[in-house]
A and B are shown apart, each in its own frame.
Chain A
Amino acid sequence: MIRFLNAALVIAVLIAASIVYGLERESRLADGRLGKINRAIAEEREQIRRLRAEWSYLNTPARLEKLAVKHLQHAPSPVSQVIKLNEVESRVPGLAPEGEAGGDDAIATMLDGNVAAVEGEVPQQPAQPDLIGNILKGME
């Protein structure tokens, strides 16, 4: 009887030990994974910060202005071009019910012309310009 009990207990101890070891190992691995994920998150955050800084640099109004002047044939829209919605019919030739001859071509040609102008001049950018480098270089 007591021998049986002893044997059972030894087996129980072995089983318990292996379970505890398994749990401990699992938790250690999980901890490692957690650390790795946390580092990855920090890395991603840093990337996001960097990209946001680069995006902001790309959106610098002075830069956009320079590019717009260079590549677009647009000018700031004069106030005379801003009209109320109910005046659209009388001001845009293609929309006037009588002037069907001109049709909607007026707008289409306008658009086509501009699209062509834009398409023709977009320069080939290097794959990954070092923008942060540019910001720092801009320090004269």
Chain B
Amino acid sequence: MTDPAQKVTFFMVVRWLFAKALGSTDATGLPNFKQGRARGRLVLAVFVLCFVAISGRIIQLAVFDDGFNRIRTSSTAKVRIPRPDIIDRNGFVLATDLRTGSMFANPRKVNDIDEAIELLSPHLPDLDVGKLRKKLQSDKGFVWVKREVTPRLQETLHDLGIAGFGFRNETRRIYPMSRLASHVLGFVDVDSVGLAGIEKYLDDRGRLFAASLADPHKAAAAPVELSLDVRVQHGLTEELKRAVKKYKAKGALGIVMDATTGEVVASSSLPDFNPNDPKDALKKDRINRFTGGVFEMGSVFKAVTFAMAFEQRTITLQSRFDVRAPLRAGGSKIDDFHPQRRILTVPEVFTYSSNIGTAKMALGVGVDAHQAFLEKMGFFDRLRTEIPEAAAPLRPRKWRTVSTMTASFGHGISVQPLQLVSAAAALVNGGRLITPTFLKRDRELVPSHSRQVISAETSKKMRYLFRLNVEKGSGRKAETTGFSVGGKTGTAEKVVGGRYSKKHRFNSFLGAFPMNAPRYVLVVSIDEPQPLPETHGFATSGWNAVPTAGKVIARIAPLLGLRPETEPVAAESILNARVGG
């Protein structure tokens, strides 16, 4: 250990091992590297080692190919997820992305301009030949020939095989059913960003929902299923269009909602627009009237007051109200449109639509309880559905006694029509207020979107009153053979120049069908209908909104799969039916 020459180092051991392996040593027992043969063996050994390593790796890749897969998937992960299609509840496409090509030319590569134009012009009738010729004669490298060519035309043009022409693909949002349900769908801008309706929802509050539809592996997205039924939507829109034309109205709106799930089956607002070309969508009269605007709904709102009074037990069906004298409140007078000047029973107050009786009823409940009930029914909050256009309700800044009196018959408080429809659904469906939705809703999820606001007993009384009003009251013209309708009419005077105008009306029918077990609620409102000779100069709701609603129901009820009743349901039979049956 003391002699340094005797020290055995690691390097020496390696040298010795090499020497042994190569089989030749010099005098000191170390490998003789000078000998060519030994050197050759060393090189050989290194090569053999390398080959063994490479073969091992190949076998590893071939047999256990996990690593290989991982590499592949990571390279395809960066794909653009397309905007989801929008379909109706039966699967009809309402909005989809389509590839359209835009034709361009490289003038330097076009050999024969005349021939090219001659070949193109029969397929592009609206092509400006002179302009195109000038473009092609220029020495630019790129000119547009025609933007947004449909796929089919693109195929034809491509097959012409003209040198120097080509296509650039672009994606365009297409609405195959054009105007149908335009207010629900909304529209997108040139960059496919939603600007209104469900389209905006998908980019906005519904981003998470939209992302949940996407399938990252296939660059595809599942479609958005709306609650709308295009056939019902068309029936509703068509009847509203006729009504607008017939009564020379400014506009109209209609909503049909499933009273048991809160799904909006159809909702239409006129005038509408074409989402394929939404240039007039932003005009003032094209607003979405069912959620984007609030209205003083007028007498249809009385139904809410009646339900409240039943619920608070301040009245029964047998109670009586003295409507002989108009009410004085603040500086104004509350009078009836059809003054009866006698003592009315509760059902009579409903069917004669007595403002005096309803105001007294609300006062009987009390100002605070009235406010509390309206709040419970959601009339003080902005109703939020998927549609981003949601107007906040308007109510008096300071709620006085007179506010309760006017709000009892739907004046002085403005709400979204959809808000009223969802409240009406609660009035007839046994008392559950369900948040409305424009997306298809699973029936099992309904309880989590709803709450009990009135008792089943009150709901039964409301069904009775609704039915009675169509049987005998102001809603008679909504009666439809085969489907027992119930509902409340309303003729609201619009505020023009700061005061209520007798000539500008907002007429509504708020109803439900079939009345023995209401499945659908609807509202039909006509904005400023004009009196006609055939309506005997009247322009109240019973002459326009009500018959329109009747036509709507007659048209859509069979589409909704309801079985016609062989004989009409009498109001009394609703009252006698067992609750919860």
Contacts and interface: CB of A to CB of B under 8 A. Distances in A.
Interface of A: 2, 9, 16, 45-46, 49-50, 52-57, 59-62, 65, 76-80, 82, 84, 128, 130, 132-133, 135-136, 138-140
Interface stretch (B172-180, B383-391, B541-549): B172-180
B499 to A, nearest CB: 39
In this complex, the member of A45, A49, A55, A77 whose beta carbon has the largest number of chain B beta carbons within 10 angstroms is A49
Contacts of B555: 76
Contacts of B345: none
Nearest to B87: A56
Interface in B142-180: 148, 150-153, 174-178, 180
Contacts of A128: 152
B443 interface: no
A138 B276 CA distance: 8
A61 B276 contact: no
A49 B97 contact: yes
Interface string B83-127: 001000000111011111000000000000000000000000000
Contact of A130 (B152, B177, B233, B564): B152
Contact of A135 (B97, B174, B563): B174
Contact of A53 (B174, B180, B483): B174
A110 to B, nearest CB: 21
B481 A53 contact: no
Interface of B: 40, 47, 51, 85, 92-94, 96-100, 148, 150-153, 174-178, 180, 220, 230-231, 233-235, 238, 274, 276-277, 481-483, 555, 558, 563-564, 566
A82 B564 contact: yes
Contacts of B566: 84
Contacts of A77: 558
Contacts of B238: 62, 65
A54 B97 contact: no
A79 B566 CA distance: 8
B152 A139 contact: no
Given A60-B177, A65-B234, A140-B274, A52 B152 contact: no
A82 B563 CA distance: 8
B98 A60 contact: no
A84 B566 CA distance: 9
A50 B220 contact: no
Nearest to B62: A23
A134 to B, nearest CB: 9
Contacts of B176: 53-54, 56-57, 60, 135
Contacts of B177: 56-57, 60-61
In this complex, the member of A45, A56, A57, A77 whose beta carbon has the largest number of chain B beta carbons within 10 angstroms is A56
A59 B87 CA distance: 13
Contact of B234 (A54, A61, A76): A61
A139 B276 contact: yes
A16 B100 CA distance: 50
A132 B234 contact: no
